[in-house]
Amino acid sequence: MSSSISSSSSNDSNSSASENDNEKYDEIESEVEVEDYSESSPPELILQNKAAELLTDLKENANTTQVAINRMVSGINSMMPHYNAFVKNELVKRSQNGVIKVQDLHEFFSFLDGQTIFEGVQTEYRKKWYEKEKWPEHLQFRKIVLRWKTVLRKNKVMEVPKYFGYRVSFLHQLESLLQNEEVLKCIDNPRPTMPNKFRSVLDGCMYQTHPVYQDDPHAIGIVLFVDDIDPTDGLSSYQNHNIRNYSWTLANIYPELRSTLRVINLLSLVNAKVAKRYRNEPFLRDLIHSMNKLSSKEGVTFRIKELPRVFHGFLLMMIGDMPASGNVSGFKESPSAKLCCRTCLVPLDEMCNCLCEDDVQLRNDALHNEHLKMMKEANDQDTLEKEERIIFSDSEDEDELPKEKKPLCSQAAQLSVKFGVNDESCLLKLNYFQCTKMFPHDIMHLFLEGILKSECLYVLQDSIGPKKLSLTAVNLFIENYDYEQWKPDKPSPIDQRHLKSGLRQNSSQILMLSTILPFVVWEYCDEAKLQNFVRLLMIFNICLSHEVDEEDIKCLERMIKEYLGQFNCLYPGKFVPKHHFLIHLPTQIYLYGPLTEQWAMRFEAYHAQMKRLFKILHNAKNIVFSLMSRLLSRRSLELRQYSCNFLSKGMLEAKVSGQTTMDKIKLRECIFQVNKGLHASSCLSCVKTLKFRGTVYESGAMLHITDRKKSLPTFGVVTEMYCLEDIYYIIYREVITSKFVECLNAYELLFASWTCFSVFQVPQTYFPRVFHVKKNNIDYAVIRGRAKPSKC
């Protein structure tokens, strides 16, 4: 059995590849069963048949997705013109006075038979080598071995790594990112701040008053994210193999460009137990060292487009959820600890009585350092006494070796409980680091995985029962509601058991469920409980706003106080630390700007991507290595492929359905109003759907138009959309807003018999999301992410 493809590739012309490498390559080749074709078959038929066999083999034997196959086909197609150019070039070289001899042709094509279109990159090993040598964006990572173990392998005693992890060089990664024009543009052109307005992390006082920023108005702000992921969702034998992920993002990137996962950079990956054992320090050491260089007077010099340029920067904050954030910060990791808040010193049993920051004693860095000093002194004293008593202990089994993180002595442990501090955070080695301010509370975990989730349950528990609302009716509403573009967020059906043990919905589903829930339970829920739930929704709405002012922050503070007071009366004994953390959110806006600019939602999406990758790689010998390698390889490819739209790709996507001229557009007056330069013959594209910052606009979609703070907001329904020179014109029909219905957290709408049309331009405008709900034949609009509730 023979085939032209396998014979050409096994006749390997490249001698630099290792023997092992060739073996692997041949093995794959020999697995492919190839039907022999007679010599007389026309070559084009043989080729076509080979192509069909390859695609079927990839799909059926290698279990590849159709998406991957389509990409391979289009990729090879795009390479063909280059291959043809190469062949043409070689033939011209071999010709004399425009004539080429048959003998030369034969020689040339026997030479080609030994070649492959994938020359030099045909194996994983060679491709990696190529990326490393030829791609400046290529990111290398290092293995950090913390402890070795002795094993017997193939009758040989060997030392192999026992505890280890991987990390990238932070400065190398930053330099590679700064080569990108879109990223650099954000750093070089920071948006001017407006008095009392918060629109990005940079508007917060932690950035604005930072000494490094005072000296360099283009200073880079870094946001660190640390969290543990269970790549399997606890479903397989990999259970409890949680991986700690350290990643970072640039705070300087404009808010509208932050929705892509490309803003997230992977710094380090390690088994969570190892990270904990070594208190994170080995995996953050390089970052700490680099940040201290960046925040020094001299800064760090990078070569940007071949020219040297000095950069300054600093770490702004670290976000993450318990227990990882508690573990890195050195505060308590469990919400059941006596002092579990890293912002204040309120004991667990008094939390429910403190409704604002004035009611608690806030932590500060001087006090925190004092706490750490007292604990260290107690521990040192204890060690000294022990050394006097026991000089040597017996040799221990390896697994019983003292842990790298030594347990505290009893007196230090008492102090630890008293202060709510476990140990010193390794991030304290950073210049300008403020341990009591730089670990903000994350609203995604607070609301969607915490209090909003539990309050959805309480409201359902109150409404469902005999002579009241039936669970079937709730599920029917969930099933029949028109989710339009938010179909992926549709809540799962609710089971009777969930009403006892807790709702089984993910964050996006909770966000959707909380939006429609008031419409479901309206006539059945206790009035005070529904009001309390709606107040929480209003609080969350301010937290989701992309633009907040001082008035909003005061309103938020007031509403949190009211909400918590009412909650205590309605649900005695149900107060949890996540309720308490709410009181720190208003201050957090002053420190770091809008809460959506500092939440973990994007990082969580990055985790979801990692979990998907894990499913593909689950057979890998060293999963942490494979994940690290794949994610970094993807990043270097993205930096190459999207050099001019690395951040903006996907921010605005439109489906065009044809061309038209202004005179054919019935509602052209609306467009003329905003663009006076157009005339009757101006040609425009008709737009079918427009996706902008994650929201899809199409005919019939509802828009939130104005946000005049004193009066009711106005809404519109999209009728037509056009595009001219990257500006999108959305023509909408205005809708009358008759009133705000508090118990539904919604605006009642009126579709007038007369109609008024107007136009909006994208990307100049940004709309908060609007949900259209119909109840008892009345139309309602629910806004998500608008700063000011009408009540305030």
Instruction: Considering only CA atoms, give the Rg of the chain.
Output: 31
Q: Out of 220, 272, 340, 341, name the contact with Zn ion by CB under 5 A.
A: 341
Stretch that binds Zn ion, among 281-289, 336-344, 465-473, 586-594 (CB under 5 A): 336-344
Distance of CA 556 to CAs 108, 132, 242, 545, Å?
Answer: 77, 51, 36, 12
Stretch that binds Zn ion, among 337-345, 382-390, 417-425, 636-644 (CB under 5 A): 337-345
Residue 147 in tokens: 């402890």
Applying CB under 5 A, the site for Zn ion has a residue count of: 3
- If one asks whether residue 343 binds Zn ion (CB under 5 A), the answer comes out as yes
- If one asks whether residue 588 binds Zn ion (CB under 5 A), the answer comes out as no
- If one asks whether residue 560 binds Zn ion (CB under 5 A), the answer comes out as no
d(CA 563, CA 543): 15
Query: Helix, strand or coil for residue 177?
Result: helix
Indicate the residue among 295 and 343 with the shorter CB distance to Zn ion: 343
Residues 6+ apart with CB under 8 A from 554: 586
- If one asks whether residue 375 binds Zn ion (CB under 5 A), the answer comes out as no
Cβ at position 332, least distance to Zn ion in Å = 12
In the block, tokens 């922050």 appear at 553
d(CA 108, CA 90): 8
Indicate the residue among 272 and 340 with the shorter CB distance to Zn ion: 340
Residue 473 in tokens: 């009716």
- If one asks whether residue 352 binds Zn ion (CB under 5 A), the answer comes out as no
Indicate the residue among 72 and 367 with the shorter CB distance to Zn ion: 367
Indicate the residue among 359 and 698 with the shorter CB distance to Zn ion: 359
Contact (Cβ atoms closer than 8 angstroms) between residue 142 and residue 170: no
Indicate the residue among 266 and 443 with the shorter CB distance to Zn ion: 443
Stretch that binds Zn ion, among 43-51, 343-351, 611-619, 623-631 (CB under 5 A): 343-351
- If one asks whether residue 759 binds Zn ion (CB under 5 A), the answer comes out as no
Q: How many CB atoms lie within 10 A of CB 679?
A: 10
Indicate the residue among 145 and 345 with the shorter CB distance to Zn ion: 345
Residue 177 in tokens: 């990112």
Indicate the residue among 187 and 356 with the shorter CB distance to Zn ion: 356
Cβ at position 353, least distance to Zn ion in Å = 13
Burial class (CB in 10 A: 0-12, 13-18, 19+), 660: middle
Cβ at position 792, least distance to Zn ion in Å = 24
Cβ at position 461, least distance to Zn ion in Å = 28
**Tell me, what DSSP letter sits at residue 445?**
I
Residues pairing with 245 in the sheet: 227, 269
Indicate the residue among 319 and 627 with the shorter CB distance to Zn ion: 319
Q: Are strands 313-319 and 220-229 parallel, antiparallel or unpaired?
A: parallel
Indicate the residue among 231 and 420 with the shorter CB distance to Zn ion: 420
- If one asks whether residue 421 binds Zn ion (CB under 5 A), the answer comes out as no
Indicate the residue among 339 and 701 with the shorter CB distance to Zn ion: 339
Indicate the residue among 126 and 580 with the shorter CB distance to Zn ion: 580
d(CA 304, CA 292): 21
Cβ at position 360, least distance to Zn ion in Å = 6
Cβ at position 210, least distance to Zn ion in Å = 24
Stretch that binds Zn ion, among 26-34, 293-301, 334-342, 518-526 (CB under 5 A): 334-342
Cβ at position 420, least distance to Zn ion in Å = 10
Stretch that binds Zn ion, among 313-321, 341-349, 448-456, 687-695 (CB under 5 A): 341-349
Stretch that binds Zn ion, among 20-28, 342-350, 431-439, 732-740 (CB under 5 A): 342-350
Stretch that binds Zn ion, among 90-98, 338-346, 638-646, 690-698 (CB under 5 A): 338-346
Contact (Cβ atoms closer than 8 angstroms) between residue 760 and residue 703: yes
d(CA 623, CA 75): 28
Q: Out of 174, 344, 701, 787, name the contact with Zn ion by CB under 5 A.
A: 344
d(CA 627, CA 126): 19
- Crossing angle of helices 507-521/527-543, nearest 10°? 140
Alpha-carbon torsion, ordered 349, 526, 748, 674, to 10 deg: 10
Distance, C-alpha 637 to centroid of its chain: 18
- If one asks whether residue 510 binds Zn ion (CB under 5 A), the answer comes out as no
Cβ at position 354, least distance to Zn ion in Å = 8
Q: How many CB atoms lie within 10 A of CB 596?
A: 18
Cβ at position 344, least distance to Zn ion in Å = 3
Query: Helix, strand or coil for residue 580?
Result: helix
Provide the binding-site residues for Zn ion, judged by CB under 5 A. 341, 343-344
